[in-house]
Amino acid sequence: MSAQRLTMEELAARIARDIPKGAYVNLGIGQPTKVADHLPPEREVVLHTENGMLGMGPTATGDLVDPDLTNAGKVPVTELPGAAYFHHADSFAMMRGGHIDVCVLGAYQVSEHGDLANWHTGREGDIPAVGGAMDLAIGAKQVYVMMSLLNKSGEPKLVPACTYPLTGLGCVNRVYTDVAVFETGPDGVRVLETFGIGTDELRDLLPVALR
């Protein structure tokens, strides 16, 4: 692939641009948490964590690191003015109750119709880790996926149908990858933006029809 791929940090900044002002947002464990570091304060986005916090700020560094203040992935974070803390069960009730406007999740695979597989590869030795992904996939109003377009073996992760165990059916609205941004849904895959790659080259890489 000849494209100059975005780094995960650059991709996080790209996703941050699409987070609406004042939205309540959950950032999944792993790479999606980087989005927090690219949200301008004037956007007034309220970040929610599965472990019971509203008003999470950017990643903590240096003297700001507090081992008792972490996100769900145990990464030290900061708190913004007005931050609130609550029980883990209340946090999941917010997710399941449709109170999260946008969630950003990682993925092993996304199907052309927006099915999500992100908790288990099914391979021997891999440890399944559902966490709150199923609750977010179904409960959030918009589901964004942040992932590389290809896996470590060079196989596409945007596929006609997921072959890994599913997290949710038809739940993904957008897929942000290191070479392009896609919209998924009942009508298939639409290319919204590319990064140094042409649509024809994308078609050669992917086993799905592109609009």
Where helices occur in 118-210 by DSSP H, the ranges are 133-139, 199-205
Where helices occur in 53-197 by DSSP H, the ranges are 88-96, 133-139
124 a catalytic residue:
no
Candidate list 9, 10, 44, 50, residue with the active-site label: 50
Q: Which two tokens stand for residue 57?
A: 């700020």
- Quick one: how far is CA 153 from the chain centroid? 21
Cα 32 to Cα 35, 73, 180, 207, 210: the distances in Å are: 6, 11, 16, 25, 25
What is d(CA 102, CA 170) in angstroms, rounded to the nearest whole number?
15
What is d(CA 6, CA 91) in angstroms, rounded to the nearest whole number?
32
For residues 23 and 101, the answer to whether their CB atoms sit within 8 Å is yes
Please list the active-site residues. 50
